[in-house]
Structure 1
Amino acid sequence: MGCFNARVTDYDVLRVFCGPRGAYGNELGVVRDGSAIPERGDRQAFAAKLGFSETVFVDDPERGVIDIYTPTLRLPFAGHPCVGAAWLLDVPELVTPAGVVQARLDGEFSWIEARPEWAPPRTLRQYATAAEVDALDVPPPGEWIYAWAWEDVAAGRIRARGFPGRDDGIDEDEATGAAALLLTARLGRALNIRQGAGSQILTAPQPEGWVEVGGRVVLER
């Protein structure tokens, strides 16, 4: 394992999939200079130290090459890290281990286009009403559960909560782009998802099995 000083490693904190007034969203750590922490073991340790649901290391800012970690594992692809990194780097695409992610900015929304098969496994569990989703307790560690219910079927509005099922202190994920991508692929239609305390995720199916996922991004610090 290499050596790095976590106290002096620079990183940005974004909130991704913010609500209409810029509140809420899922925090994301971004180390713009990935060469400061080149070793995978050190990156994993740094992601665990930061404690965000995901942390991104940028290995080539011009080409958009990124490396994504949760506090406990490395991910080939994840939704809110890609949306946040694309917004921060202002690049037309990101290069992830899963594949090339197209990216674009459209007004206040940052969008990525990805494939459902890139997303980590999620159990999509439908409930009858949004109130049932609101009332759920955090389940014990185990499977990654995306609990959802229709708020307005005609308008494509959904209420959702994400429970990672990990034993790393993250009981609930405030906004989960990968799960939204999987749900969009299953339902085959554009969605407007209200997740967590007040985050907003927009999605839209695209030709040949691709799915767009978009949301607002705010630079926290």
Structure 2
Amino acid sequence: MQRQFYILDVFAEQKYAGNQLAVIRHGAGLSSEEMLAITREMNYSESTFLLSEEKRDGGYDVRIFTPGGEVPFAGHPTLGTAWLIQQEIIQQPVSRVVLNYQVGQIPVDFTYKNGQPDEVWMQQLEPQFGATFPAAAVAEVLGLPADQIDQRFPCQEVSTG
């Protein structure tokens, strides 16, 4: 089966800028290993695989891969993939596109100017707060002097997906 793929520039005001993203359509027939191989071939920080062009439970099924493996959620791939769905599948202005990920549904909202998407933003999941780390250890890992870490704020692992 032939599959279409798109190269997008996310967070960009012009071509060949921003964060690159590969979006592969009709990905349902691919194994995880094939998705990883395609992602490595594309050689971008992330690639997404649109599993179906039909909604399931109100959203579109998507998987995200980095060259190191699958990830449950990531920001710029979410925005870019939702934009592509609006432009290429829905093909008309909509206020929201929902993506189904391993972490759950992520809504992506659109505003328009002259009939074209002007702003695209997402609602992330509630943050999960993990371990805290000594500021001195974080500074050392980053190669910074310890006084460059503001002690008023914790160095903490936080995830929204």
Judge same fold: TM > 0.5, yes or no: yes
2:106 paired with 1:101: yes
2-structure distance, mates of 1:60, 1:114:
22
Q: Tell me, what secondary structure is at the counterpart of 1:52?
A: coil
Identity value in percent? 26
Q: CA RMSD in A?
A: 3.1
| Match of residue 14, structure 1, among 8, 13, 25 | 8
User: Which string of whole-angstrom CA distances, capped at 9 and with x for unpartnered residues, describes residues 152-202 of structure 1?
Assistant: xxxxxxxxxxxxxxxxxxxxxxxxxxxxxx6xx9xxxxxxxxxxxxxxxxx
Q: Distance in 2 between matches of 1:9 and 1:66?
A: 15
Unaligned runs of 5+ in 2: 87-95, 113-117, 136-141, 144-157
Pairing partner for 1:27 from 9, 20, 28 = 20
**Divergent runs of 4+, >6 A:** none
Structure 2 partner of 1:87:
83
- Alignment match, 1:66: 62
Q: Cα 1:22–1:110, aligned 2, differ >3 Å: closer, same or farther?
A: farther
More helix by share: 2
Amino acid at match of 1:57: F
Alpha-carbon distance between aligned partners in 2 of 1:60 and 1:23, rounded to the nearest angstrom? 28
Distance 1:40 1:73 in 2: 9
**Amino acid across the alignment from 1:106:** T
Amino acid at match of 2:70: R
SS in 1 for 2:44: coil
C-alpha contact (below 8 Å) 2:28/2:52 kept by paired residues = no
Query: More relative contact order in 1 or in 2 (CA 8 Å, sep 6+)?
Result: 1
SS of structure 2 residue aligned to 1:18: coil
Q: Flag structure 1 segments of 5+ consecutive residues without an equivalent.
A: 126-138, 141-181, 186-209, 211-221
Separation of aligned partners in 1, 2:32 and 2:127: 24
* One-letter amino acid matched to 2:120: S
- In the alignment of these two chains, the number of paired residues is 118
- Deviation, 1:76, is 0.4
Distance in 2 between residues matched to 1:80 and 1:109, nearest whole Å: 13
